[in-house]
Amino acid sequence: MSAHHIKRLVIMRHAKSDWPGGVADHERPLEERGHRDAPVAGKWLLKHDVVPDFILCSSALRTRQTCTWVCHALGDKAPTPKLEDDLYAASASRMLAVINHVPDTVNTLMVISHMPGVQDLAMHLASRDSDHDAYMDAATRYPTSGLTVLETEKSWAELDGQDARLTHFKVPRAK
């Protein structure tokens, strides 16, 4: 892959959420650990020079809060996120349909959403030349705050399956 044509996709599962009684699933907030872990994900992205120029975020409260912390950690490099109702409780195919509409001016796209869609999407897109350890980690467990980084030479509209190299799987945790 020639570096100037590579697009990167970061797929993140929201940070650890709470289950307060009487609250609709869409309005569930992060729990304390989630508030600590989410900014660590942003710091990891900065450290590894995987800074998104566009973020699509599920409209659920826990994903919005995760996104806020990630963007806080990215500081002035953070893009303005776009809330996307279609990412709430979305299947991999629905997430991919949203990604397929992203303009090609975006080089690094971050999607913050929910299980099982995030894991299913990462596995669906991962090509055979993916990093073996990262692929196996993403395939066997995808805990809260888990994030996958994939690289492709295809446009967002062309992305459809096994055409992005999975390069990293990370579960950032606060110490």
- CA–CA separation, 123 and 119 (whole Å): 6
pLDDT tens-place string over residues 138-161: 999 999 999 999 999 999 999 999
- CA–CA separation, 88 and 85 (whole Å): 6
Which pLDDT tens digits describe the chain residue by residue (175 residues)? 445 589 999 999 999 999 988 999 999 999 999 999 999 999 999 999 999 999 999 999 999 999 999 999 999 999 999 999 999 999 999 999 999 999 999 999 999 999 999 999 999 999 999 999 999 999 999 999 999 999 999 999 999 999 999 999 999 999 8
Q: What is the DSSP string of 66-94?
A: HHHHHHHHHGGGPPPPEEEGGGTT--HHH
- CA–CA separation, 72 and 76 (whole Å): 8
